[in-house]
Homo-oligomer: A and B are copies of this chain.
Amino acid sequence: MNDGDRGAGHAARPKRADARRNKETLLDAAAAIFVTSGVEAPVRDIAAKAGVGTATIYRHFPTRADLIIAVYRHQVEACVEAGPALLATSVTPYAALGRWIDLFVDFLVTKHGLAAALRSDDAGFDALHAYFLDRLVPVCTELLDAAAGSGEIRSDLEAYELMRGVGNLCIGADSDPRYDARRLVGILIAGLRRPH
């Protein structure tokens, strides 16, 4: 998946060296700005930090969603891979589900504004929704099905809905010391328990 790769099938010329360098510089700058100003930081700020023009950002990342995805891709993939691993090592599927959700929450609450962006109905974030859901819903479904199969939880909840709910609970979790998203998500997960 490198920039120099040929497209599947016919040859595409590799990107110029300066373009590749700029892309890396932009990713670093964006990551830094996201930490301090959140994922909705002005495009010009990111461009300034990277020392490039604004158009260069749009050239490499047509929408803000593309930039956010590129910055956080590794961490999302780590979360995806943690799902089956937790299922294999936890004492029950429900325990695995709980731990996996914790992982996801920890990721979200430390990314200023990301949870809100995930919920934004701005069309520019469509790719962001799609990416997160495409990657995480299948994992969550697996965990949910396992926990339902073992009889620990109710089975009438879609992974999609749970992911959205957890994401929503994480909105604004930073910047409000009186609000603990982890605790509330814990309560939500507790609410999944099948009343025996």
Contact = CB atoms under 8 A, between A and B. Distances in A.
Interface of A: 116, 119, 121, 157-158, 160-162, 164-165, 168-169, 171-172, 175-176, 178-180, 183-184, 186-193, 195
25 contacts: A119-B171, A119-B172, A121-B172, A121-B175, A157-B187, A158-B178, A160-B178, A161-B178, A161-B179, A161-B180, A161-B183, A164-B176, A165-B187, A168-B171, A168-B172, A169-B169, A171-B171, A184-B188, A187-B192, A188-B188, A190-B191, A190-B195, A191-B191, A191-B192, A191-B193
A77 to B, nearest CB: 24
**What are the 6 closest A-B residue pairs judged by CB atoms, nearest first?**
A191-B191, A187-B191, A190-B191, A165-B184, A168-B168, A188-B188
Contact of A191 (B172, B179, B188): B188
Contacts of A195: 190
**Looking at A161, A162, A175, A180, which has the most chain B CB atoms within 10 Å of its CB?**
A161
A62 B137 CA distance: 43
Copies of this chain held together in the complex: 2
Q: Which of A116, A121, A175, A189 has the most CB of B within 10 A?
A: A121
Contacts of A171: 119, 168, 171
B184 A187 contact: no
A175 B171 CA distance: 18
A190 B161 CA distance: 17
Contacts of A178: 158, 160-161
